[in-house]
Amino acid sequence: MRVINSVKTLLRSLEKMIVSYRAAWNDALRAALLQRRCLWMKGPFRPHIVVLPTRAGRLGAWTFANTIYISRTQLSCPPHVRNYIVGHELGHMINGDVFIQLLFFLSYLAMIITTGTGSAINLLGILLSSLSLLMLAVPSLALEREINADRVAVQLYGARQVLEGCLWMARRLDEMHSPQRIARLKQLRQYLAAPSAEPGHGGRPGV
Ligand SMILES: [Zn+2]
């Protein structure tokens, strides 16, 4: 009986901890939105965070439409990493990257539904899904999107915090030798070395 009670207490405190982590993520997003947002980020389109019920170590954070997905692995990360992830993923929304995803998703769906009809919608679906897939898959374009999303995070939190957050993610996801991650870290170090990174400016390009 005593063991069962101890397990119940442990589960309750674990649940409380998860609730407080979720609140911290939502607070970070709310604070970021007070600084940077687009006109469309209102009502049902307001960005929000979904925590996936997985601890898969290699699963990073990503965004689809107005939703930021994180795994349990990131849930308890340090505050500066949380800010980095929120700023970076919000950057994908602010920069319009999510619309390329949506264009691919919707045009691909239209293409599948109208397969074999030879209709104009089918042709348009093939054209737009190919075009958007190309934009998503070309490595140089993908890198540019990541760097631009990091730039929004830097504008929100400063280069030092974002660089440290990016390093934490690179180590956690085992991406220290990935060419894309190396290029992103190099860009962040350049922001930090820039004159605007002097104390009091926080290394915030474009602010
Ligand atoms: Zn990204």
**pLDDT tens per residue across span 123-149:** 999 999 999 999 999 999 999 999 999
Q: Whole-angstrom Cα distance, residue 169 to residue 180? A: 13
Q: The whole model's pTM is what?
A: 0.87
Q: Which residues lie near ion ligand 1 (Cβ < 5 Å)? A: 146, 149
Ligand 1 centroid distance, CA of 144 (Å): 10
Ligand 1 centroid distance, CA of 60 (Å): 9
Please state, in angstroms and as integers, the Cα–Cα distance from residue 71 to each residue in 113, 118, 202, following that order: 32, 42, 29
Q: Which residues of the chain have pLDDT under 70?
A: 55-58, 195-207
- What are the beta bridge partners of residue 67? 48, 64
Could you give the residue ranges of the DSSP H alpha helices within 138-202? Answer: 139-157, 159-172, 179-193
Ligand 1 centroid distance, CA of 127 (Å): 25
Ligand 1 centroid distance, CA of 183 (Å): 13
Please give the full DSSP string across 49-108, using - where no structure is assigned.
Answer: EEEES---TT---EEETTEEEEEHHHHT--HHHHHHHHHHHHHHHHTTHHHHHHHHHHHH
